[in-house]
Amino acid sequence: MADVNRGNRPLSPHLTIYKPQLNSITSILVRITGNAMLVSAILVVWWMMAAASGPDYFATIDGLITSFIGDLVMTLSVLGLWYHALGGLRHLIWDTGRGLDVETADRMGWGMIIGSVALTFLTIIAV
């Protein structure tokens, strides 16, 4: 049967009434960091290929990777790696049927954010 009110209803969830939640933002960021790590992997492979190509080309690429911008990109890559790894752990916990209530999911979201920053800091100090 045709719905006569179909044209009068807003789309669900409508963008004007949707409130982003921590769980949705952290989920989106896991996807973004996964794609960003692909770019970081390409940079690392480029650096290794330059090392195999010869000392002049390696010096050029190494200078780029170890510059301020390169250090910033690699630091953000480590942050993305830790964030993505903690997001994977969160999903493993969810796969067991635990932590699916809103309060626990929010705590795990904050744990991902704070944990990834802390682990990035520890990684940078260790290196």
Residues of the chain with pLDDT > 90: what percent?
83
Sign of CA dihedral 40, 45, 51, 57: negative
pLDDT at 57 over 90: yes
Name the nearest CA neighbour of 46 among 30, 31, 57, 56. Answer: 57
The set of residues, in sequence order, having a beta carbon less than 8 Å from that of 5 and lying 6+ positions away, is none
If one compares 104 and 11, the residue with the highest pLDDT of the two is 104
- The reported pLDDT for the residue numbered 89 is 97
Name the nearest CA neighbour of 109 among 24, 19, 20, 18. Answer: 24
Tokens of 43: 């940079």
Average pLDDT on 25-39 reads 94
Average pLDDT on 2-23 reads 71
- The reported pLDDT for the residue numbered 14 is 66
Residue corresponding to tokens 């990684």: 123
